[in-house]
C-alpha cells in the first residue's frame, strides 16, 4: 500500500498534470456539431480555469471527435456538450496477437491511477480481424489483473458524487482491430443524453443529443418562441429551455469521472458554479418567451408538468393537452419562432397506419399557420420528407435503429 502523498504526486504527474487523448462519441450525422462543441469547450476552459492550456488536435473520426487536453477540461466537456453520447479517455494502444502479450500490456498500466479502488469496471470487448477474437475470454484475462491492482493497492475510497450515494458505473472499453488493441475508459458513466431531468418518460422519446443538434441547426436564440406541439416527454422543450438560458446540458447529473482518483473536485465545482452564475436562470426582470408544449396524450402532459418542477428554468414551459391541428400560434416577428416536431412514426409506435398522409397534413398545417417560423421536423424517410411539401432541406441522422431525416428550414420561404 502506498502512502497517500506519494500517491497524490503520482496522480498529478501522470494523470491531472499532463494532456491525454479523449474521444467524444456522437451519433452519426452529428460530428460537425460535435466538433464545434469541442472547440467551444476549449474557449470555456480557458475562461473558467484561467489556463492557457486548452484543447488541441481536434480530429473528426468515424463515430466521433478525438481531442487532446487535460483531464479537468475533458470533465468540463462532459458537462458542456449537448451532442456527444459519451466521452472516452484513451488509456493505451498496443499490438497483441496472443493472451500472453495482452496480459503483459494490461499489467503495464497503472490502473490504480485511473480507476477508483475497490470496484471492478465493466469490461466491454469488441474485436475485428484479430487473432484474439473471443470477447469473454479477453475480458476474463483482464479482470484478475485489474482486481489485483484495484483491490490491493489502495485503501477504500469514499464516494461523494453529486446526486448519488452509490459509486457511478465504470466501464473499460477494449477494441481490437487487426491485432491492435485500444483501451479506453468511459468518463461519462450513464450516456450523456440522459440529462438527469425527466422524472418519467412516455414512449418513443427523442434522444436529447438529437433534439440539441436540431435546435443548434436552427440557431435557437433566447428571443425565439419555441413551439413543441407533439411534445411527448418534452425533450425539445427541456433542451430548448436550457439552451436559451445557457444552462449546460450536464448541470443536473453526475459522471463516472467524479469517482476517479485524478478528479479535481475543486476545479470542477468552481466550473459548475461559474456556469450556473452565467446562466440566465433569473426569469424575473425580462422574462424569456414561453415554450408552447402540446400533446394529445394527457399522461405525457402530466409527466412533463412534473418534470418542469425540477428547476425554475423549466417553468417557462407550458404543457397543455391539445391537438396540434387545433393550435393557433402567437404572431412572431423576424422569424423568431421555432416549431419542432417529432411525430409518431415507424416501428416504435403502432397507432399510426398512414404515416405519409400524417406528414402531408402536418405540412399543410405548418404552411397555413406557421409562416415565417423556423422548423425542424423529424421524418422516418424521404417519402415523409417529401409529403411535407415545405421546400425544406434535410439533415440525416440515425436514431432508435432507424435512418431518419430532419426537415430543416423556414416555413413559407
Ligand atoms: C414520437 S412521440 C414524440 C416524442 C417526443 N419528442 C419526446 O421526446 O418525448 C409523438 C407524440 O406526438 C403525440 N401526438 C400525435 N398526434 C398528435 C396531435 N395531432 N397533436 C398533438 N400531439 C400528437 C403523441 O401523443 C406522442 O406523444
Distance of CA 188 to the CA centre of its chain: 9
Q: Is 178 left (phi over 0), alpha (psi -120 to 50) or beta?
A: left
Q: Ligand 1 mean position to 287 CA, how many Å?
A: 27
Distance of CA 139 to the CA centre of its chain: 27
The 10s digit of each residue's pLDDT in 168-202 is 789 999 999 999 999 999 999 999 999 999 978 78
The three grid cell numbers given for residue 150, joined into one nine-digit string: 484495484
DSSP-based three-state secondary structure for 127: strand
Low-confidence ranges of the chain (pLDDT < 50): 1, 155-156, 158-163, 347-352
Place of cell 470533465: 75
Q: Ligand 1 mean position to 376 CA, how many Å?
A: 14
- Choosing from 236, 295, 302 the residue with most ligand 1 atoms within 8 A of its CB, the one to mutate for a pocket test is 295
Which whole-number Å values give the CA distances from 309 to 47, 238, 304, 317, in the listed order?
A: 31, 12, 9, 10
Q: At what angle do helices 208-217 and 31-49 cross, to 10 degrees?
A: 90
CB atoms under 10 Å from CB of 355, counted, come to 19
CA distance 27 to 153: 38
Tell the residue nearest (CA) to atom 26 of ligand 1.
232
Residue 353: predicted pLDDT: 58
- For the question of whether the overall pTM of this predicted structure is more than 0.85, the answer is yes
Residue 282: predicted pLDDT: 65
CA distance 301 to 380: 24
Q: Ligand 1 mean position to 26 CA, how many Å?
A: 25
CA distance 87 to 22: 7
* 344 in contact with ligand 1, CB cutoff 6 A: yes
Residue 156: predicted pLDDT: 46
Cα dihedral value 245, 249, 253, 258, nearest 10: -120
Question: Given the CA of residue 228, which atom of ligand 1 is nearest to it?
Answer: 6
Q: Ligand 1 mean position to 344 CA, how many Å?
A: 6
* 122 in contact with ligand 1, CB cutoff 6 A: no
Extents of the domains making up the chain: 4-186, 208-275+288-410
Place of cell 480530429: 59
* 361 in contact with ligand 1, CB cutoff 6 A: no
CA distance 200 to 304: 8
The 10s digit of each residue's pLDDT in 194-206 is 999 997 878 778 9
* 300 in contact with ligand 1, CB cutoff 6 A: yes
Query: Exposed, middle or buried, 196 (CB in 10 Å: 0-12/13-18/19+)?
Result: middle
Residue 153: predicted pLDDT: 53
Going by C-alpha positions, the residue among 86, 32, 76 that lies closest to residue 248 is 76
Q: Ligand 1 mean position to 206 CA, how many Å?
A: 10
Domain 208-275+288-410 = CATH 3.40.50.150: yes
The 10s digit of each residue's pLDDT in 376-403 is 999 988 899 999 999 999 987 766 666 7
Going by C-alpha positions, the residue among 321, 375, 387, 378 that lies closest to residue 345 is 378
Place of cell 498496443: 94
Beta-strand ranges (E) seen in 329-373 are 337-341
* Cβ contact 254:168 at 8 Å: yes
What's 4-186's CATH class? Answer: alpha beta
Residue 199: predicted pLDDT: 78
Close Cβ partners of 78 (under 8 Å, ≥ 6 residues apart)? 87, 187, 188, 192, 250, 255, 257
CA distance 221 to 10: 45
Total number of residues shown for the chain = 413
326 phi, psi to nearest 5 deg: -100, 0
The percent helix, strand, coil of the chain (3-state, each to 5) is: 40, 20, 40
Amino acid at each position: 500500500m502506498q502512502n497517500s502523498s506519494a500517491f497524490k504526486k503520482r496522480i498529478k504527474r501522470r494523470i491531472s498534470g499532463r494532456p491525454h487523448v479523449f474521444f467524444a462519441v456522437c451519433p452519426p450525422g452529428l460530428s460537425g456539431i460535435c466538433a464545434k462543441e469541442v472547440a467551444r469547450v476549449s474557449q470555456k476552459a480557458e475562461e473558467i480555469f484561467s489556463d492557457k492550456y486548452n484543447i488541441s488536435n481536434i480530429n473528426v473520426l468515424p463515430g466521433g471527435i478525438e481531442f487532446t487536453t487535460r483531464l479537468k477540461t475533458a470533465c468540463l466537456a462532459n458537462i458542456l456538450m449537448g451532442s456527444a453520447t459519451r466521452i472516452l479517455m484513451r488509456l493505451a494502444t498496443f499490438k497483441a496477437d496472443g493472451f500472453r502479450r495482452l496480459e503483459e500490456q494490461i499489467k503495464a498500466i497503472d490502473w490504480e491511477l485511473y480507476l477508483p479502488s475497490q470496484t471492478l469496471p465493466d469490461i466491454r470487448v469488441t474485436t475485428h480481424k484479430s487473432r484474439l477474437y473471443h470477447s469473454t475470454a479477453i475480458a476474463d484475462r483482464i479482470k484478475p489483473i485489474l482486481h489485483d491492482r484495484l483491490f490491493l493497492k489502495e485503501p477504500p475510497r469514499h464516494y461523494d458524487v453529486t446526486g448519488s450515494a452509490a459509486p457511478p458505473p465504470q466501464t473499460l472499453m477494449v477494441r481490437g482491430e487487426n491485432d491492435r488493441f485500444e483501451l479506453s475508459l468511459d468518463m461519462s458513466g450513464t450516456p450523456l443524453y440522459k440529462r438527469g431531468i425527466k422524472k418519467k418518460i412516455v414512449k418513443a422519446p427523442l434522444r436529447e443529443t438529437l433534439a440539441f443538434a436540431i435546435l443548434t441547426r436552427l440557431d435557437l436564440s433566447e428571443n425565439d418562441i419555441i413551439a413543441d406541439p407533439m411534445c411527448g416527454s418534452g425533450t425539445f422543450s427541456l433542451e430548448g429551455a436550457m439552451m436559451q438560458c445557457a444552462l449546460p446540458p450536464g448541470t443536473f447529473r453526475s459522471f463516472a469521472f467524479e469517482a476517479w482518483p485524478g478528479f479535481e473536485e475543486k476545479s470542477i465545482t468552481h466550473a459548475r458554479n461559474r456556469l450556473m452564475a452565467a446562466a440566465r436562470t433569473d426569469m424575473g426582470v425580462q422574462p424569456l418567451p414561453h415554450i408552447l408544449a402540446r400533446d394529445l396524450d394527457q399522461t405525457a402532459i402530466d409527466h412533463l408538468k412534473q418534470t418542469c418542477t425540477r428547476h425554475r428554468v423549466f417553468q417557462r414551459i407550458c404543457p397543455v393537452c391539445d391537438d396540434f391541428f387545433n393550435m393557433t400560434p402567437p404572431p412572431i416577428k423576424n422569424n423568431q419562432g421555432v416549431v419542432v416536431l417529432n411525430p409518431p412514426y415507424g416501428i416504435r409506435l403502432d397507432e399510426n397506419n398512414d404515416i405519409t398522409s400524417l406528414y402531408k397534413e402536418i405540412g399543410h398545417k405548418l404552411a397555413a399557420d406557421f409562416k415565417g417560423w423556423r422548423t425542424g421536423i423529424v421524418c422516418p424517410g424521404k417519402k415523409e420528407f417529401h409529403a411535407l411539401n415545405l421546400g425544406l432541406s434535410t439533415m440525416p441522422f440515425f436514431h432508435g435503429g432507424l435512418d431518419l431525416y430532419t426537415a430543416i428550414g423556414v416555413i413559407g420561404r
